């Protein structure tokens, strides 16, 4: 078609099998909240930078921004488990560097409660008013 330009790609980059949706599912399914972070009530995000070689293997991961309490180590463990598709670039071996943000959010507790219906207090039939008098002659 005239007027359309094709985007030229010189290098094939490694992709996570299944796309970003599968990537997020992998992270949430395999994330184990560290005990120290749970006890301290720590939430936040850890950014991990790592390389992906031409075979799809993660190499040299390191934490760029951490929150401590075992979350940094857990993020490194998750990133090390990742596996990307192999890439062929006409015999040229390429290593790509990328970053991933891993969110640590505390599990939410759902509180279910019910309010019992308020019952009217039973009234005693004590006559015409709240006071009762007895007069003897």
Average of per-residue pLDDT across 92-121: 81
What are the structure tokens assigned to 6, written together?
């094709």
**pLDDT confidence band for 112 (50 / 70 / 90):** confident
User: Measured between alpha carbons, how far is 75 from 42 in angstroms, rounded to an integer?
Assistant: 14
- The radius of gyration of the chain from alpha carbons, rounded to an integer in Å, stands at 32
pLDDT value, residue 133: 66
Looking at the chain, the whole-number percentage of residues with pLDDT higher than 70 is 81
What was the pLDDT predicted at 86?
87
Would the pLDDT of 72 be above 90? yes
Residue-level pLDDT at 67: 95
Sheet holding 96-104, edge to edge: 58-65, 44-52, 96-104
Supply the pLDDT for residue 8: 66
pTM of the shown model: 0.69
Read out DSSP for 80-129? HH-BB-----TT----EEEEEEEEE-PPPPP-----PPPPPPPPP--SSS
Structural domains in the chain, CATH included, are 19-104 (3.30.2420.10)
- Compute the distance between CA of residue 107 and CA of residue 34 in angstroms, rounded to an integer: 12
**What tokens appear for 83 in the block?**
């596996």
User: What's the pLDDT tens digit per position in 7-36?
Assistant: 666 778 888 988 999 999 999 999 999 999
Q: H/E element holding 64?
A: strand 58-65
Split at pLDDT 50, 70, 90, the class of 116 is: confident
Tell me the mean pLDDT in the region 72-88: 92
């Amino acid at each position: 078609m005239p007027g359309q330009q094709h985007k030229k790609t010189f290098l094939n980059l490694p992709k996570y099998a299944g796309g970003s949706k599968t990537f997020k599912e992998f992270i949430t399914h395999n994330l184990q909240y560290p005990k120290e972070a749970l006890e301290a009530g720590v939430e936040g995000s850890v950014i991990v930078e790592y390389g992906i070689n031409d075979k799809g293997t993660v190499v040299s991961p390191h934490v760029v921004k951490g929150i401590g309490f075992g979350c940094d180590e857990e993020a490194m463990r998750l990133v090390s488990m990742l596996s990307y598709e192999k890439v062929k670039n006409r015999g040229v071996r390429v290593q790509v560097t990328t970053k991933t943000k891993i969110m640590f959010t505390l599990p939410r507790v759902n509180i279910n409660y019910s309010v019992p219906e308020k019952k009217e207090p039973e009234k005693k039939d004590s006559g015409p008013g709240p006071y009762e008098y007895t007069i003897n002659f």
